[in-house]
Amino acid sequence: MERLVVVGAGIMGSRICRHFLRRGHPVALVDPSAEALEKAMAFLEPEPRQPIFAGAVDALGQPWRGAFMVIEAVPEVLELKLRVIADIEAFFSDSTIIASNTSGLPTASLTQAMTRPERFVITHFFNPADLIPAVEIVPGPDTPPATVTRVADFLNASGKKAAPLKADVPGFIANRLQHALMRECFALMESGVADAETIDLVTRYSLGVRLALIGPFLQRDLNGLDTHLNIARYLYADLESRQDPPDALADKVAAGDMGRKSGRGFYDWDSAMDRQMAEVERLLPQVIALSAQVDDKDGG
């Protein structure tokens, strides 16, 4: 099995690590923070396979220099990512693919100081990274198609659903869709149409249940493209088009209400909410399995 290195032992890095451990890959998890490594060790302790833990990439042994891929999963700070990518490039062999788990930083910025930018790609995993199948693959300006194909094949073989993009755009696919949806959600809430709970309810029990099984373009086909065109003609002009973040979001952050991490956001994050999220994570594989059944039947 191919060796894989994850740099960054936070939530995303630890879950990416767990995914590949469960698929039988030798994995090394690197982080200069002893506290972060300790938390990752506790998180991964129940796993039958364990990674190699290290405080720096150059602390890994010689066999790791030829790892198939290194995934950088450090915080979304460009200067930090550039330092980490430089360390990775200096240690690993020229054949090792260097990937970033950035949620939206452009490839041109991340590769600006690389000596061999042709081995760079973005692999954007989704949280929880050990459960959500899709991974967006974004090539850099110098990344050849063959490298994208190698990464996609590797991810697909591990059980992921690789989604190669043909161009690098801010936010890639998923974040553009999420923020377009949320812009309208905030507009509906701020204008008094509905509160957060009601908007969540409608989204979950209409769009959400369908999108788990069919994508938006397939849904348009089912509805009829003529119907969609007629609705678009009168509705698009009324949709939210603001260019700045919504006041409701900015006000929450200014008040220190940042969601689960602070204990309060649009919801109060008490023990009951924690239990609900644990149940969501327990049920998520079943939702994914149902979606995969649709794909299997379609393919058969």
Architecture of domain 4-164 in this structure: 3-Layer(aba) Sandwich (3.40)
Q: What percent of the chain has pLDDT over 70?
A: 99
**Can you point out the beta strands (E) in the chain?**
4-7, 27-30, 52-54, 69-72, 97-100, 120-125, 134-139, 161-164
- Dump pLDDT digits (tens) for 91-148: 999 999 999 999 989 999 999 999 999 999 999 999 999 999 999 999 999 999 999 9
295 — pLDDT class (breaks 50, 70, 90): confident
**pLDDT above 90 covers what percent of the chain?**
95
Tell me the pLDDT band of 240, cut-offs 50, 70 and 90.
very high
Domain boundaries, the chain: 4-164, 174-252
- Domains 4-164 and 174-252 in one fold: no
Mean pLDDT (the chain) is: 95
Q: Cβ(2)–Cβ(66) under 8 Å?
A: no
The domain 174-252 having CATH identifier 3.40.190.10: the answer here is no
Q: What is the pLDDT of residues 143-198, one digit of tens each?
A: 999 999 999 999 999 999 999 999 999 999 999 999 999 999 999 999 999 999 99
- Angle subtended at Cα 116 by Cα 115 and Cα 122, rounded to the nearest 5 degrees: 115
* β-strand pairing of 134-139 with 120-125: antiparallel
* Whether residue 48 has a cis bond before it, omega within 30° of 0: no
Q: Which residue has the tokens 């972060």?
A: 36
d(CA 206, CA 8): 37
